[in-house]
Structure 1
Amino acid sequence: MSTSPTPANEKERLKALDDYDILDTLSEHEFDRLTELASIICEAPISLVSLLDERRQWFKSAVGLQVKETPRDLAFCRYTITDAQFLEVGDATQDIRFKHNALVTGDPDIRFYAGYPLIDPNGYALGTLCVIDRVPRILTDRQKRALQLLAEEVIALIVERRKKQDLKNVEKLFRSSNDLVFVGSTDGFFKRVNPAFTKVLGWSEAHLLHTPVFELIHPDDIAATEHELKNLSLGHDTINFLQRLKTINGDFKTIEWTATPETLTGNIFGIGRDVSSIVIKDKMLAESEEKLRIFFENSQGLMCTHDLNGEFLSLNTAGAAILGYTPEELLKMGLYDIVPQERHAFLDAYLKQITATGQAKGQMLTRHKNGSLKVWLYNNTLQTSPREGTYVIGNAIDITERYRLEKDLERTKEILEQTNQVARVGGWELDIQQQKVYWTSVTKEIHGVSAGYEPDLATGIDFYKEGDSRNRISAAIEKAIADGTPWDEELQIINAQGKQLWVRALGNAEFTNSVCNRLYGTFQDINDYKAAELALKKSVETQEALNLELMKQVALVKEQDKTIEKIQEFKFLADSIPQIIWTSNPDGTMDYYNKHWFDYTGMSMDDTLFYGWEPVIHKDDAADDYKKWQQSLATGNPYKSEVRFRRAADGVYKWHLSQATPMRAANGTILKWFGSCYDIDEYKRALDLENRISQYEDFNRIVAHNLRGPSGSIRMILNMIAEAADEHEKEELLQMLNQSSETLNETLNELMRVLEVRNSKNIAYDTCNLNDMVKVTGTMLKGQMISKNAVITTNLQITSMQFPKMYLESIFYNMVSNSLKYSKPDVAPVIHITSQLANGRMSLTFADNGLGIDLKKHGKDMFKLNSVFHAGHDSKGIGLFMTKTQIETFGGKITVESEPNVGTKFTIVF
């Protein structure tokens, strides 16, 4: 039974979708531009115009996705059209509606989704405009607004497409109509006739277009025809005019004409029917009049006529509806009634212009009946007729939404440029073919050159400091042109004023037909960041010294008698320390802050007692800090918390270590809490740098450890080749050597991928096949396995799992290589690998029949770095330490069971 949500008006919605006749149509660039724009604005790799019928979601336009449709039960959009409002899913893996969805657990690995419903003028949600990403995130308010505007533009395109199709149907109707339809002129010639003329009269189209109509008219009808043509030339319509026309056989057909003139062009538009039979006459006349009425009433935009004072003389129903009025209401009004008062001066100028020149075009602002504003693009012409005098024919298109979207895009561009100015980030581009270099204004500012400066490649490189910086940028450019390798470097330049600066240069290559034709990237001033980095160590040492002194003073105050005089001494001391000092009553109410608190936060004592820390503590730290303080109050344990406080001087949040110790009476009851908050912002940054260094050290250990096995296998196989006498045996060993070499190369490639992942600070999970892991491990250790006649057996109840592939290969390698290394000298190693699901968690075991380990003696040191339990085995004590670190890093746990001379079993639970 399907639990997919369904709109309450699903039947009517599906009928509306079908009426638009858009499903399974070819791609159209108007829609593709909007999806591309949505992808760019929302910075999302996937953008879709998705339409949902009863069984599927079909993509009218897609960016970043190759499929054309997916089952409806998998579509995120089914929730969007059901609620008919914006839907945003920050992390699909945490959302109960989507966490098990095949589009989340598999390709395309959806994590983030945001979509607006495509609601047509009748209120039916046809589908969505949505953006998708493979990482969790949320949109900004401006991105949401832009996505909403683009969704409105998509539904406008769908409606307009239907209208265009209707116009095509009108042309089809012209060609297939049984009525005689023509375009003619007052000189008595047809300019265009439909096939019905030939069907009714027998004459060919060429004959009719080159023959004066009076040659075809019955002689008795010529006078009446001349009268009607005269009326038409004066701008009067002809209705129900009967005329007999000669057929190719020489007889006459009675045609009832309805014709209307176009005074601007002198054309006459007419529809005629063969009314030789009265029944046919009544039927065809009714249809013709209805078609003319529908054509006029449903014309797009605003069509009207008005006099030279701006008073309406006529207008179409569709135009009146766009303004919120009926035609009858507007015929009692004029342009001055619908144009805002502050725009009347422009209206005066428009009327003067069209009176003087006979034409006017441009943009006009009107007010809707509900008070909202409409922007129109108009093209009007002055017309004079003997019957109606001088008047203006107006034709205008509503461009309100397009105008607003253009303004929003202009504002977005302006904000982006301002952001680049603040962040000191510029852009650059190099046209390889033309050898033309382009710098943005910020890039020129960083280089210290004028706005009119025109750079070239040679002088651009010369700005880099001679030596390491210049060599590295030159090598990066050459490599990018050769093979497309991007770069991200922190280098030094000497600008035009001779000032030495640190900059961050990023570059990418663009290829056409395997030839690099463009380099482009960004350029950022990071000089202040580098200066801060150099001062970091000194700052941390200073902060630690101040903290030590502070703690000594606080301890001294706790030991002194709590008299008023001693408290004043404490306050004086606290005010002299450049850190925040505070005290609290046993119930947690604060009763004292030193001077540095007020200087740093800009708050008064009354403000502090009333609001507490809420105005200055970072919102992301407040809840955790409050919880720790309440726990300390409840248990009496010392309070310690790392929080960010906003500095009043510049609004910047800086990290502080906030801690407090209770002062107790002789009976153990708490008399008072003494607390401090000292600035550890530079220290936190130093820790981050230390962690990054530690990660690269760990990576170096993985490199050394993982390459030892393949290289050892190659060395062992080479020795075996040297000792082999049989050519066939040598050939088999050479094949094994080649396979070990390929495995070494693959290992190096995987290590490079791990390094790239570390550099991007995003370690991705892979779908790892455990059978493949066993095969790869066997290949890497083939030399050792052959030399010891080792056998690997498996019982893999679970054959695949989600885990970083490089780390899982390292775990398999360490487990199997340990079993081979610590095997019994006279017993062939048997290594048994199993996988199963136990208590909802993945369990992986490696068991062998080797030397075993005395856990009573060595258990506590089992996974410590540099721990060795068997002498003479070329052991460095790194493998098990690395394995445990890798497993625990990703939420797992490893345990060991072992008995000397029996064997060892490692169990890993994920």
Structure 2
Amino acid sequence: MKIHPKPEKELERLKALKEYAVLDSLPEKEYNSITQLASYICGTPIALVSLIDSQRQWFKSTIGIDVTETSREDSFCQYTIMGDGVFEVSNALENEIFADNPLVTGAPKIRFYAGAPLHDANGFNLGSLCVIDTKPKILTEEQKNALQLLAGQVVLLLDARKKNLDLNKSQREFQNFIDLSKDLVCIANVDGLFYKVNPAFTSVLGYSKEELEGSPFVNFIHPDDLASTYHEVEKLSRGELTISFENRYLCKNGKYVVLSWNTSPDPLTGNLYCIARNMTKEKEAEQSLIDGNRLLDESQSIAKIGSWKFDLVTNDLIWSEGHYRIFELDKMPTDQLYKAYRSRIHKDDLAKLNKVSIDVNKTGKDFKIKYRIVFPDQRVKHILEIGQPFKNENGEVTELKGIIQDITAITMAEQKIIQKSKEIQDIRSALDESAIVSISNQMGLLTYVNDNFCTISKYAKDELIGKDQRSITGHFPEESAKITLRTIVKDTIWKGEMRNLAKDGSYYWEKATIVPFLDEKNNPYQYISISTDITDQKNAEENLNYALLNLEKKNKELDQFAYVVSHDLKAPLRAINNLSEWIVEDMPDMPKEASANFDLLRGRVLRMENLINGVLEYSRIGRVEIEKETIDLELMLRQIIDSIVPDEGFEITVDDNFPIIVTERILLQQVFSNLISNAVKHNNKSLGKIECHYQSVSGFHQFSIKDNGPGIAEAYHKKVFEVFQTIEARDVKESTGIGLSIVKKIIEEKGGTIHIESEQNKGCNFIFTVPK
């Protein structure tokens, strides 16, 4: 057996190959240019960029051959990837490895092969750049060097392709993140105009993208906040990389919201990249706290909020009950509270909290911070803290007041949203890989198609978008189209099969589900179709139906033929039999030897007629449908025994547990009759014994017919079931050799089995099963 080579780290190599996402991709001219150059330099009619997968070699580019892949075990390139240099076979017919290779003995009749491995940056040989000729030859060193250089260029193309895919994926993920963000994200250009805004902008402010983009952002700022906003923006011109500030923005409904901004400039374009969070509710909460500390413990408990006050002069720290509840601490003296409070702050957040405290004392500005607290049992809570400093008449900060909020549930929900967003993207990617997906608007015009749609329809995306699918690929009866349209317009999911027409005139079948998406008035505004290609299935069904019709026709022809043949064969046999009887009657005094010969002749004629009948019965099993009926098996056995077994010389035993079943009576009757008849015919004892047993096994009825006759040697256990096979000579025991073959065919056609348990001179036991 030929052992095919595999690199030492084959699993890692296959993983590296799949990360390039190049297998089964469309042809690209850059790769074709390299194969053309390789073919020219090496003077060969064939050149390939071959990538070695687990079971195949797939060609990214081909010159001189019209195939996309071959099996790996037949490939020459599987040997190329085992080394670092050019692998060359000057004459494949004289090479013991490749002389019997089907690519050598058959098309394309390879005689010469040379391949340079595609060696990536991680040391894996992904495949090869190879050249092939139908005549033996040897490359020069210059040609080999050129082939290796070109292989390096292929790897550079693969690396560039991978980087582009990664970049596109990152850009899509970043755009999705921006679009799904609850924060307001925008770009403002150097002219002070909104250039881009995300959906959160329109959601919070109530304006459409068209109303915002291209408008001066100062038009929306509260007049009292313009000066402070300009002051903050001027910091950027002085070299600050990021500014943070708050102002009020006008909503379309006339109300203002408080936005907290973080803004950074692009050093090349001067555009401002801005992120804002709607702080209206937080500001209202802060103001309510500052105005009178009117928060009640009950409302704090419901809202998971706590309030606090810290006197910088006396170092007294005071918490509300809600604050204690969030930190899960018992009330304690102020000198102990400060230490206990800080011991619960997550160690990574403690430095951040210390910095906020220092900044507040220096600047006297309000602050807001998020941090984590960790409990002895390692549970974690996420805390939002908002505070405001208060100054004395000398402008010194003497007191801090604020609130905390347990935002664990909110934080977890936000993290889950991010995770779910990724899952949705992954699901969409998986769907695009396996299904044909399209989206149509309420007018039936395509607004989106995935790559699979283009592949199966053979249209490019720009040929489909904005077009009515029914007029391009739709090819099903008008009445069916009307029913489908009425179904989805009524907000009902439609499922069914449809035949479509591809661009090249070929037909393909889809099993589709069309789902209507509803607007706020429950009217469909778009339709999403998800389908699978069932063309092969429909073709198989059509072929099967044709085959069944053809089989039915052949069966009828076979029955007619069997009837004619049996009639034509039986007629001369009857004539021979009648003629022999007339001769015997006309010659009563003929010699005993002649009379015996005539008896032998009539016996042979009878055997021939039985043989014809047996062949006909055997051929009809499984082809003729027989109506099933309810059968009392014990009663049927008694009737068979009465008609076959002699009254003297035999002892019959029948179990009393034989069931009543529903089956084809004539078939089961034929099985028992043949087996019991054989037990009688071949018995060589003065008292023949026949036992009929039944046992219920899992999913089957099991029967056995056992006798005390001469038995059957193990060498004949299978042979006796073959057509025309007998153990004894037909001159000794009259037999057609068809009975047991009929029994076996009936049982196996019904889904059962039959076998023999027997030894020479120790009786015979036929055991068979039929499904319940």
- After TM superposition, the score normalised by the length of structure 1 is 0.29
Higher relative contact order (CA 8 A, sep 6+): 2
Tell me which structure has the larger Cα radius of gyration. Answer: 2
- After TM superposition, the score normalised by the length of structure 2 is 0.34
